[in-house]
Structure 1
Amino acid sequence: MTFDWADFQAAEPAFAKALQNRFQAYRHHVLATLRKDGSPRLTGLEVDFRHGHLWLGMMPNSRKAHDIRRDARFALHANPGPDSAAASGDARLCGHAIEVTDPLTIARYAEEVAPPEPFHLFKTQLTEAVLTRVEGSDLVVRVWRPGSPVRTLRRGNDAGPPREDR
């Protein structure tokens, strides 16, 4: 099961907003794709939240675009910023990136965003969203997957097993 950004916002509005804020705090983020041999590739990327979607734009014939076209799975890690992400959280989104080939959608996006042209454009379908923060002495991990509510796992300094908030 996958959700687009609007579905995620409808299902978990506060959590979606917290993640979107993390991604919008900085311009560049890290995208993980899968190479032809199955090994991971990490590259920089800008993202855009628009019209209920999380969009990924890529230069023509870039390796990451080839990776996504071959295997749509991705992970996107928000830029932690200069002082680490402890206060605002460490954000990650996973899912599938679907290439947009509709000329009208591409033209509308280009008109609104003005990316360097030509470009590949991908819409995302989410399979997981994670926000990790330090709260007091606890590491707090919030995880959302389509069709389920956000789960919160806490791990204290005692290094005991993580406990789930209920």
Structure 2
Amino acid sequence: MTAINEKGQENTISQTALITVLDQPVELTNFALNQSVKVDSFTNESESGPKAVDGKLDTKWCAVGPSKHNITIDLGKSEKINQVLIDHAQKGGESPDMNTSDYTIELSNDNQNWTEVVNVKKNKLGETKDSFKQTEARYVRITAIKPTQGADSAVRLYEIQVLGLKNS
């Protein structure tokens, strides 16, 4: 891929095996649904980590405090994943000002060594869909670096889906 900015400067990036072509259409599987999660904090039991992967838009994981907040989803076993969908505060009926502004998504097979696959800055959307090269991973960690559009330090994630192809 080559991008050219308004000054005519080029930046080229090459990546192999980025797109997977299949003979038949397939539906992606949400490997995060009702899986085990670990969070750095949560406000109360009704806004705990498992609420972010329960398949419902009327529940959420909410964490407060001055630091970055993270949630780690254990998919149970290594899966082929290539997309993460996140329903932020607005999707749950809250103000768009509460949508997560800056966040990263990292993948791991051993919960020790992590590879960053997504780094989002200045998001304003209530629903984000982040795609990346198909990768085998068991753990997915989302870190809210700037939890909202303003000074509020509470992250509010209503639902997280980790999508990919079911291993055959």
Indicate whether the TM-score tops 0.5.
no
Greater length-normalized contact order (CA 8 Å, ≥ 6 residues apart): 2
Q: TM-score, normalised by structure 2?
A: 0.30
Q: TM-score, normalised by structure 1?
A: 0.31
Q: Give 1 or 2: higher strand fraction.
A: 2
Q: Give 1 or 2: higher helix fraction.
A: 1
